[in-house]
Amino acid sequence: MGVSVKVSFLGYPSVGKSTLIKLLSGQVPPLDYKPTIGLDFGSLQFGEHEVKLWDIGGQSAFQPFWNQYLNGSYLVFVVTDSTPQNVLQTKQLVEWLNREHKGVRVIALANKQDIDGHFSAERVENVLHVPTYGITAIEPRERDKLYYILVKELLKATEEGEEKNGSNE
């Protein structure tokens, strides 16, 4: 029987979290911006497993809830819109995650790579110090790319978990 795996998306408003989740879930992302109130969800099948996608608002007003929302995540995608200002803000989210959720695998998505003046994935990675992938969530053709990033990182998270268990024996 398949298991259910939780993957969280954390980031400031309007960086593209909901659009990324819709893209992964195979829905056509709407282009008009509808802010997510509280929490949003998506899901996809991965073999016999279900991957639950949690969309977590990064405004500091919601910060008291992050611990509860992130609890049980197998993987956390931190999303930035790749503008210099947002990349710097997002660094604080990553630092908070590293402090509060030490064990969890954190990956950055440098979204909106189609916009002029964006930071490349490499530049974002140099600021955030976590593995970073460039993506354009409004481009339906990027779905496969995002899907393979997710699969690759889920496998890595599994390997890391097994290594940790092994070293404890």
List residues binding ligand GDP (CB under 6 A): 11, 13-19, 31-33, 35-36, 111-112, 114-115, 136-138
Helix or strand run (H / E) with residue 42: strand 39-46
Q: In angstroms, rounded to a whole number, what is the distance separating the alpha carbons of residues 75 and 133?
A: 15
36 binds Mg ion (CB under 5 A): yes
Reading the block at residue 25, the tokens are 């879930």
Strand intervals (E) in 25-134: 39-46, 49-57, 75-80, 105-110, 132-134
130 binds, among Mg ion, ligand GDP, none (CB under 5 to 8 A by kind): none
Residue 16 beta carbon to Mg ion: minimum distance, rounded to whole angstroms: 8
Q: Which of 10, 16, 18, 94 binds Mg ion (CB under 5 A)?
A: 18
- Tell me which stretch binds Mg ion (CB under 5 A): 11-19, 61-69, 77-85, 155-163: 11-19
Q: Which residues pair with 145 in a beta bridge?
A: none
Residue 92 beta carbon to ligand GDP: minimum distance, rounded to whole angstroms: 16
Q: Residue 64: what residue type?
A: P
Residues within the interface to Mg ion (CB under 5 A): 17-18, 36
